[in-house]
Amino acid sequence: MKQLKNNASVNDELILLAETILAEVLGLENAIFVKPLFLKNRTLTVACTKVDLAPSIREKQQIIVEKINEKLGKNEVDRIRYLL
């Protein structure tokens, strides 16, 4: 049970961190349309409610992933998957 709690807190931390980094990379005006949902198999899944942003997320994926991993201090995220 303790391991499950630790995983949940790591995921919560990652989601909050991803929100901050997405706002930094995409801009505050765009970040309101992108919501990090969960991390599974090293893939961060985000909901994107503005179709126009999908190419920007794809383009800046490497930067976003690197910043998240840098802030976490370890490589937890390999890629971003977005849901439209």
Q: How confident is the model at residue 6, as a pLDDT?
A: 60
* pLDDT tens-digit series, residues 36-60: 999 999 999 999 999 999 999 999 9
Give mean pLDDT, residues 22-28. Answer: 97
Q: How confident is the model at residue 83, as a pLDDT?
A: 95
Give start and end residues of each alpha helix (H) in the chain: 2-26, 28-31, 54-59, 61-72
What's the pTM? 0.88
CATH entry 3.90.800.10 includes domain 2-83 = no
Q: Could you count the other beta carbons within 10 Å of the beta carbon of residue 7?
A: 11
Q: How confident is the model at residue 2, as a pLDDT?
A: 45
Which sequence spans correspond to the domains of the chain? 2-83
Q: Could you count the other beta carbons within 10 Å of the beta carbon of residue 14?
A: 19
* CA–CA distance, 50 with 33 (Å, rounded to integer): 6
Please say if the pLDDT value at position 23 is more than 80: yes
